[in-house]
A and B are shown apart, each in its own frame.
Chain A
Amino acid sequence: MKIIPGLWLGLWVLMALWATACAQVFPTVQAPDLPTSVPTEVEQIAELPPTETPVEEPAVVDPTSEPTATKIAEVPTEIPPSETPMPTQTSEESPGDTTPLGSPELHATDPSTVNLASGEVQLVEFFAFW
């Protein structure tokens, strides 16, 4: 295949002009200065101070010695009474004004403690929780 040398020259000129035009339109961005020396992993490891790993010696237990009794601190089971008195329910109403029906504290009397002839007046109510 025979190529005309003038055509090659023309193509080179066009390419040069096009490259120049592109360089003006898109100015080059200068890259920030990068560190020239990157520490290698080997260097970092080399800079670490040598660590000493203490070797624990196994405890020698004398089989003839009796185990020592460890005293367990006694925990007080009683809760000290709080110094702040419990709030007492006070009502400005006289007790004879209203007597509420029922009570939020629903409870049944233990039948084993009930004696119909108790020696005092009794009010016995049969009820159900449902």
Chain B
Amino acid sequence: MAPIVHGLEAKYNSQINFVYLDIDDANTQRFKEALDYIYQPHIFLLDENGNIIQQWVGYVSLTELETVLVSAIQ
């Protein structure tokens, strides 16, 4: 499944850092463990210190994502 937040990146990349981690890449294992990754797609919104603000497992609507992103950057 392709990343679903690329559209949001085009809109908010100046305010939010977007990271796409390939679950098949062995080098992403430490991030899976750090964030308690379950299965893809698994999206995390992190604050400046790496704390999880919110997370979504599975399908999430773009509207819901955008609403949370906007509230996080305000």
Q: Is the CB of A99 within 8 A of B16?
A: no
Q: Is the CB of B46 within 8 A of A116?
A: yes
Find A127's partner among B2, B7, B32 (CB 8 Å cutoff): B2
Interface magnitude class on chain A: 20 to 34
- Contact indicator per residue, chain B 1-28, by CB within 8 Å of chain A (1) or not (0): 1111111111100011111111111011
A125 to B53, CA, bound (A): 14
A-B contact pairs, 20 of them (CB 8 A): A95-B11, A99-B8, A102-B3, A102-B7, A105-B6, A106-B2, A108-B20, A112-B27, A114-B21, A117-B49, A121-B17, A121-B48, A123-B43, A125-B5, A126-B40, A126-B41, A126-B43, A127-B40, A128-B23, A129-B22
B interface, CB within 8 angstroms of A = 1-11, 15-25, 27-28, 30-32, 34-35, 37, 40-50, 53, 62, 66, 69, 72-73
